[in-house]
């Protein structure tokens, strides 16, 4: 029998990271490993959790645990009991809480994937400090960009960069699905359409983007913005849009399980982020030919500049963002789509196969160094 691998992820969704975890689980299973996935979430109906359903459909061994709150220790005790009974050779965590749980309860050799940090409130900053301590106990850490590697307070010998991957054929096929009902009026606007796809939290910059649109509106430039995402700042952003008189111009779509049709329909993806580990939405847009206007931060800056995916600006520069949007949206032929050669190159460089190969190499390097 092959080695036992335990994968641990805390999430309420099934998005890019979860798709990569599922692909890695299937890859290891195909290599003869025994794989078990544990999903920790605050979704009340765990039986309908999309990540759990996808794992079950792939016939993976999956345990889905409901967490009532921050101080609910029952899931941690369940994970510890599962580890004691199953005794995995390797455990791999994919978020702050999972890192801490594995650091506390064990589980063979520990690997982690660090997807970048947020700092939108005191709790997030505390998690960041605790996570850095947990990561010091890991045998190996995978990061999606050099920018994330620089943030970690651990030995660089235990950190390897493996850029994120995307199942290109599945993503491009999904882009042809009908738009969700909440987005149809936005897509049918006669003018240009902008898309913000990401978490509603300060590091994503939605609170900055709305005043930029208000300035353009005063100049009679009125693109339609669809803001797709969930998070702690959504209510504040809605209130800000109302105060700025943008209620009829901005659509808050909430969380969208499959955003590919939105990315295909948008004229321009806007990413005014203050922090980005990699910029997965940029990759997801690029393989559909959709250009983006983005902040020059973190891994997003190199992803965009090195692959010619769009235009980069400094974050929080109202003048620069207003000027850039005004110029792009005024083009008679509209915002130019990405060239076919660019799309093909990105699809090849960031394929799921490339990511899986990188993960295989990372595991080999970690085990050799252990």
- For 134, phi and psi rounded to 5 degrees? -65, -40
Can you give the pLDDT at residue 106?
83
| Paired tokens of 150 | 């620089």
Please check whether residues 192 and 341 belong to one and the same domain: yes
Cβ–Cβ < 8 Å for 357, 250: no
| pLDDT value, residue 239 | 97
158 lies in the same domain as 213: no
Q: Are the C-beta atoms of 284 and 262 separated by less than 8 Å?
A: no
Pair (155, 187) in one structural domain: no
Count the Cβ atoms, other than its own, within 10 Å of residue 54: 17
Number of neighbouring beta carbons within 10 Å of residue 206: 28
For residue 368, the model assigns a pLDDT of 84
Q: CATH number, domain at 60? A: 3.40.50.2000
Residues 156 and 251 in one domain: no
**157 and 114 share one domain:** yes
Q: What are phi and psi of 162, to 5 degrees?
A: -130, 100
Q: Are strands 109-113 and 268-271 parallel, antiparallel or unpaired?
A: unpaired
Sheet of 292-295, strands arranged across: 250-254, 224-228, 193-197, 268-271, 292-295, 310-313
Mean pLDDT, 10 residues at a time, the chain of 370 residues = 94 96 98 97 91 98 90 89 95 94 88 82 77 88 94 86 97 97 94 96 95 95 96 96 95 96 98 96 98 97 97 97 96 93 97 98 87
Query: Does residue 289 sit in the same domain as residue 342?
Result: yes
What does the block give as tokens for 57?
A: 């459909």
Give the dihedral of Cα atoms 17, 73, 46, 16; nearest 10 deg.
0
Indicate whether 191 and 340 sit together in one domain. yes
Same domain, 320 and 364: no
What angle in degrees, to the nearest 10, is found between the helix axes of 50-57 and 16-30?
20
Q: What is the predicted pLDDT for the residue at 1?
A: 79
One domain for residues 217 and 331: yes
Claim to verify: residue 345 and residue 217 sit in the same structural domain: yes
The predicted pLDDT at position 195 comes to 98
Q: Total structural domains in the chain?
A: 2
The reply to whether 128 and 187 lie within a common domain is no
Q: Which domain holds residue 124?
A: 4-165+351-369
Asked if residue 173 and residue 304 are part of one domain, the reply reads yes
* DSSP-assigned letter for residue 49: -
CA–CA separation, 251 vs 248, rounded Å? 8
- pLDDT, residue 370, reads 61
């Amino acid at each position: 029998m092959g080695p036992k691998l335990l994968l641990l992820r805390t999430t309420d969704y099934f998005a890019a990271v979860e798709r990569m975890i599922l692909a890695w689980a299937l890859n290891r299973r195909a290599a003869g490993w025994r794989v078990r996935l544990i999903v920790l979430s605050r979704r009340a109906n765990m039986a309908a959790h999309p990540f759990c359903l996808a794992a079950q459909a792939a016939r993976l061994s999956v345990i889905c645990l409901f967490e009532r709150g921050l101080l609910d220790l029952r899931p941690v005790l369940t994970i510890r009991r599962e580890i004691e009974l199953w005794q995995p050779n390797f455990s791999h965590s994919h978020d702050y809480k999972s890192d801490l749980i594995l650091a506390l309860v064990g589980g063979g050799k520990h690997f982690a994937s660090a997807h970048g940090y947020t700092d939108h409130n005191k709790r997030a900053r505390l998690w960041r400090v605790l996570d850095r301590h947990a990561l010091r106990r890991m045998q190996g850490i995978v990061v999606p960009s050099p920018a994330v590697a620089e943030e970690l307070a651990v030995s660089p010998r235990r950190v390897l960069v493996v850029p994120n991957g995307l199942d290109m054929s599945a993503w491009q096929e999904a882009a042809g699905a009908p738009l969700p009902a909440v987005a149809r009026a936005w897509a049918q606007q006669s003018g240009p359409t902008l898309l913000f796809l990401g978490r509603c939290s300060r590091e994503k910059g939605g609170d900055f983007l709305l005043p930029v649109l208000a300035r353009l509106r005063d100049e009679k430039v009125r693109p339609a913005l669809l803001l797709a995402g969930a998070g702690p700042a959504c209510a504040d952003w809605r209130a800000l849009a109302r105060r700025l008189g943008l209620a009829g111009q901005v659509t808050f779509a909430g969380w969208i399980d499959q955003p590919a049709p939105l990315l295909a329909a948008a004229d321009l993806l806007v990413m005014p982020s203050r922090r980005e580990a990699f910029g997965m939405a940029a990759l997801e847009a690029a393989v559909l030919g959709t250009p983006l206007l983005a902040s020059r931060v973190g891994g997003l800056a190199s992803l965009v500049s090195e692959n010619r995916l769009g235009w980069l600006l400094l974050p929080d520069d109202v003048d620069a963002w207003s000027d850039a949007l005004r110029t792009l949206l005024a083009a008679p032929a509209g915002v130019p789509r990405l060239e076919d050669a660019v799309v093909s190159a990105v699809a090849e460089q960031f394929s799921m196969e490339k990511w899986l190969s990188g993960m295989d190499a990372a595991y080999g390097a970690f085990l050799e160094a252990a």
